[in-house]
Amino acid sequence: MSKTLFEKIIDRELPATIVYEDEQCIAFRDINPGAPTHILLVPRKPMPTLGDATPEDQNLLGHLMLTAPKIAAAEGFGDAFRLVVNNGAAAGQSVFHLHLHILAGRPMKWPPG
> In whole numbers, what is the pLDDT of the chain averaged over residues?
95
Question: What proportion of the chain, given as a percentage, has pLDDT over 70?
Answer: 99
Catalytic residue among 38, 63, 97, 99: 99
For every residue of the chain, which 3-state class applies, written as one string?
CCCCHHHHHHCCCCCCCEEEECCCEEEEECCCCCCCEEEEEEECCCCCCHHHCCHHHHHHHHHHHHHHHHHHHHCCCCCCCEEECCCCHHHCCCCCCCCEEEEECCCCCCCCC
Least Cα distance to 59 among 69, 39, 45 occurs for 45
Q: What is the pLDDT of residues 54-88, one digit of tens each?
A: 999 999 999 999 999 999 999 999 889 999 999 99
Instruction: Give me the mean pLDDT over the 33-39 stretch.
Output: 96
Known active-site residue 101: no
**φ and ψ of 51, to 5 deg:** -65, -15
pTM check: above 0.75: yes
Predicted confidence at residue 78, as pLDDT, reads 84
Domains located in the chain, CATH noted? 5-104 (3.30.428.10)
